[in-house]
A and B are shown apart, each in its own frame.
Chain A
Amino acid sequence: MKRVQFSSPTLPYLFLLPQLAVIFIFFYWPSAQAIQSSFYLEDPFGFGSSFVGLSNYTDAIFNPEYLKIARFTVIFTVLVTFFSLSLGLLLAVKADAVIRGNSTYKTLLISVYAIAPPVAGLIGMMFFDQHIGPFVTMAATFGWDMKVGINYFDTAFAMVVVAVWKQVPYNFIFFLSGLQGVPVSVREAAAIDCRSGIRRFWTVILPLLAPTAFFLLIINITYALFDTFGIIDVMVKDKAANNPITLVYKVYMDGFRGNDIGGSSAQSVILMLVVFVLTIIQFRFIERRVHYN
């Protein structure tokens, strides 16, 4: 919390109003309806519905397949978050250090973020194509008979690589802007205080980056959980079969593709509750270590 703050009876509400209005109309209103649907089995066109209480929830939770998907989701999220954050940070630190060619690197690294998702997915898929993928050929020289789409592990590997590839530039941009925000005087002082670059990074620069890093941690977790279903859809060629999928992809399959409004709403509520609890824990335990000043 800031030591000094303004106090005004109306101004903060005035500033919050536009954001809150948009959120209430376009998020809470529809979400409330989605939550309501989770207690019903409903004809998608709206002609019939039966109140089923919590059975949409129990149907999901007590299904062994659902739990298997949940397990994969956890592993996938941890891997994607870890690798995209660390690669993004590494590149940002290096780009920050380099003076010559600085803007070229930046432009190159950032521009990858701009590639259209359907095509990014297509490129990823083609790289891992079991017949003609360059990545598969490369793996074969190491004796790895990679079969994306058939072998569970290989498919999971390909998904993680593509998901990380798409997210690194995002983290790069924010880490870099965070680094560039570190005042010159601090850098100079740090350079005098500790000569070792690595030590200087851990003791001076990283704590300064912590607010950004915490933001990115949360955002990357939600990315891995929620925003990767497009990538998964392309990688499994819209046939999940016995390939690994995440919980959100399951919601997408059941709700969007299968028109099971009640069941998919219940699944999203479960997911939302779990992530919400997780986030609160992160704010409690990790944010305490983040020093904002």
Chain B
Amino acid sequence: MLKKISLAAMAVGFSATSSFAATNITWWHGMGGRNGEVINEVAQKFNAAQSACSLTPVSKGTYEEALAAGIAAFRSSEQPNILQVFDAGAATIINAKGAVIPAEDLINQAGYTFNRDDFIDGVRYFYADADGKFVGMPFNSSAPIMYINDEALKKAGVEAPKTWEEFEAIAPKLKEAGFVPLVQSQLTWEFTENFFSRNNIQFASNNNGYDSVVDTKLNVTDPNLIMMFDKLKAWADEGYFGYYGAGWSDNQKVFEENKAALWIGSSGSFGGLSKTAQMPFSATFLPYWNSIEGAGTNSFIGGAALFAMSGKPAEENKCVADFFQFLTSPEIQKFYHQATGYVAITKAAYELAKKEGYYEEKPAAEVGIKQLLLKGGEWSKGYRLGFYPQIREIMEREYGRIFSGETTVKDAFDTIEKEGNDLLARFAKTAG
């Protein structure tokens, strides 16, 4: 209710200036398919809600292509007002001091009050600076969660595991029932980055990279992480874990075809799964290790954020602030959440959807938000690592070698640590 009034107030505020021509702002994004259409709808809603600003979204291909286009344009002073940047590329844009206006500053300067507590905990720090100030505005967010093949668990007579210890206990029964007990779709996001967040372990020095780019080092030889992959390898050898390569859908397919019991996927996957899964399924949190002290914290978000590019006139920046404000309003957040499957990023939007009974209808849609709302730990806020897309590629390469038997878990992580740290050192030099 309150928000409706404030929206109306916004509209009144805008109409006062509407005798002037609308200020045009552009938004470059990297989404296609249905998600690209939803972006158009959001922009249309914004343009309809006020008349001072006119927002034009432009699809710039994939995440990577959108970032590359944004960089090329920025270097030629042709940048858009808003650029969507994906999680692994966050360090690139945030460390380029001067490329963006922090979202929080922008919104405050426009005369709104920005309240960090409005956002759910899990999304609050990932695109913020070391002091917690929002640099990017979280936009499309997701969390890695575990999908459950209800039929398989019933057949094996077991309950869904909350911890990896519980999984170990039920895996033989699931295998006996004729299922691959566990599959996953992205070892980097689900078993590395979010291993650190869910088990509350430091990922990298310098406060996970937030404090400085100089001398940041990976903590991938942490004994707990090595234990996790030793286990995965042992499970794979015993037939408790199936690895079908680094491709996302090759692994998901096994679950869809009712051949696997548990699948670690994205919180947004339920929409597609409900069309393709050949059995009833449900979802729960990504498991953690009970044996690790302080484990069970919230996970990092995946997805992308919106960045306000610098070097634009004040009235355009004002429009960007208006749009960010509009975007985080509960109605729009709820619309976006339901239309795309990405999690709602504000508490108010979550409450709104809950009140409407959305999660009774689609319980799987709530799991990701709940996981992001879990208690936070020191190391579950996020990470900021330069050249991270390349570091991920090194991880993927070494993980593939672990499961093909070309290397041992210990050697793999030694390699990742060495090559990863070299990349981080190189990145530190790009700052000049």
Q: Is A49 an interface residue (CB 8 A)?
A: yes
Apart from A47-B431, A241-B397, 12 more pairs, CB < 8 Å: A43-B96, A43-B431, A44-B71, A46-B74, A59-B422, A130-B245, A150-B404, A241-B393, A242-B404, A243-B245, A256-B64, A260-B387
A259 touches B92 (CB 8 A): yes
Within 8 Å CB of B422, what residues of A? 59
A149 touches B430 (CB 8 A): no
Instruction: Kindly specify which of A178-186, A232-240, A273-281 makes contact with the partner chain.
Output: A232-240
Given contact pairs A45-B93, A131-B257, A149 touches B247 in the complex (Cβ within 8 A): yes
A151: B residues at CB distance < 8 A: 404
Number of interface residues of B (CB under 8 A): 46
B432 interfacial contact with A, CB 8 Å: yes
Mark contacts of A226-251 with chain B using CB atoms, 8 A cut-off: 1 yes-contact digit, 0 otherwise: 00000000001101111100000000
A260 to B406, alpha carbons, bound, how many Å? 29
> In the complex, how many angstroms separate the beta carbon of B142 from the nearest chain A beta carbon?
18
A residues neighboring B (CB under 8 Å):
41-50, 52, 59, 65, 129-132, 147, 149-152, 236-237, 239-243, 253-254, 256-260, 262-263
A257 to B249, CA, bound (A): 21
Cα of A43 to Cα of B389 in the assembled complex, Å: 15
- Which residues of chain B are near A46, meaning CB under 8 Å? 74-75
Judge whether B64 and A257 touch: CB under 8 Å: yes
Whether A48 contacts B430 in the complex (CB less than 8 A), given A241-B245, A241-B246, A259-B92, comes out as yes
B386-418 interface mask toward A, CB cutoff 8 Å, 1 = contact, 0 = none?
010110010011111101101000000000000
Given A254-B390, A260-B387, A43–B253 Cβ distance below 8 Å? no
- Determine the distance from Cα of A46 to Cα of B426 in the docked complex, in whole angstroms: 16
Q: Is the CB of A41 within 8 A of B430?
A: yes
Contacts of B406 in A (CB 8 A): 242
- The distance from the CB of B263 to the nearest CB of chain A, in whole angstroms, is 14
A44-B92, A48-B430, A259-B67 known; A149-B98 Cβ under 8 A: no
Q: Considering the complex, give the chain B residue whose CB is closest to the CB of A42.
A: B430
Measured CB to CB, the closest approach of chain A to B33, in angstroms, equals 13
Q: Which 9 A-B pairs have the closest CB atoms?
A: A48-B432, A242-B400, A237-B247, A149-B245, A241-B246, A239-B246, A45-B96, A241-B396, A241-B400
Q: Are A47 and B400 in contact (CB under 8 A)?
A: no
Q: Can you list 30 residue pairs at the A/B interface with Cβ under 8 Å?
A: A41-B429, A42-B430, A43-B432, A44-B92, A45-B71, A45-B74, A45-B75, A45-B98, A46-B74, A46-B75, A47-B432, A48-B430, A65-B397, A129-B250, A132-B253, A150-B245, A237-B246, A237-B248, A237-B249, A239-B396, A240-B246, A241-B245, A241-B396, A241-B397, A242-B406, A243-B245, A254-B390, A256-B68, A258-B390, A260-B387
Q: Which B residues are in CB contact (< 8 Å) with A239? A: 245-248, 393, 396
Contacts of B397 in A (CB 8 A): 65, 240-242
Are A260 and B426 closer than 8 Å at their CB atoms? yes
Is the pair B430, A150 in contact by a Cβ cutoff of 8 Å? Answer: no
B interface, CB within 8 angstroms of A:
64-65, 67-68, 71, 74-75, 89, 92-93, 95-99, 243-250, 253-254, 257, 387, 389-390, 393, 396-401, 403-404, 406, 419, 422, 426, 429-432
Least distance between B216 CB and chain A CB atoms (Å): 15
B247–A49 CB distance below 8 A: no
**Nearest Cβ in chain B — how far from A263, in angstroms?**
7
Residues of B within 8 A of A44 (CB): 71, 92, 96, 430
Q: A50 with B245: in contact, given A45-B93, A243-B400 (CB under 8 Å)?
A: no
Does A43 lie within 8 Å of B387, measured CB to CB?
no
Interface of A, secondary structure class, is loop
A134 to B389, CA, bound (A): 33
A25 CB to closest chain B CB, in angstroms?
A: 15
Give the distance in Å from the alpha carbon of A59 to the alpha carbon of B403 in the complex. 28
In the complex, what residues of B have CB within 8 A of residue A49's CB? Answer: 430, 432
Closest to A237 in B: B247
The one of A50, A131, A256 that contacts B430, using a Cβ cutoff of 8 Å: A50
Given A41-B429, A242-B406, A260-B390, answer yes or no on A149-B96 (Cβ-Cβ < 8 Å).
no
User: Roughly how many angstroms separate A132 CA and B254 CA in the complex, as a whole number?
Assistant: 11
Task: Give the docked Cα–Cα distance between A196 and B248 (Å).
Answer: 55
Smallest CB separation, B247 vs chain A (Å): 3
**Contact of A149 (CB < 8 Å), options: B64, B92, B93, B250:** B250
Which chain B residues border A52 with CB–CB below 8 Å?
Answer: 429
Question: When chains A and B are docked, how far (Å) is the Cα of A128 from the Cα of B357?
Answer: 43
With a cutoff of 8 Å between Cβ atoms, the chain A residues found around residue B249 in the complex are: 237
How far apart are the CA atoms of A46 and B253 in the complex, in Å? 43
Q: Which of B68, B71, B96, B399 contacts A241 (CB 8 A)?
A: B399
A262 to B404, CA, bound (A): 33
Task: Decide: B390 and A149 in contact? CB cutoff 8 A.
Answer: no
- B431 cross-chain contacts in A, Cβ below 8 A: 43, 47-48
Nearest CB on A from B151, distance (A): 19
Q: B174 → chain A, closest Cβ, in Å?
A: 20
A50 touches B429 (CB 8 A): yes
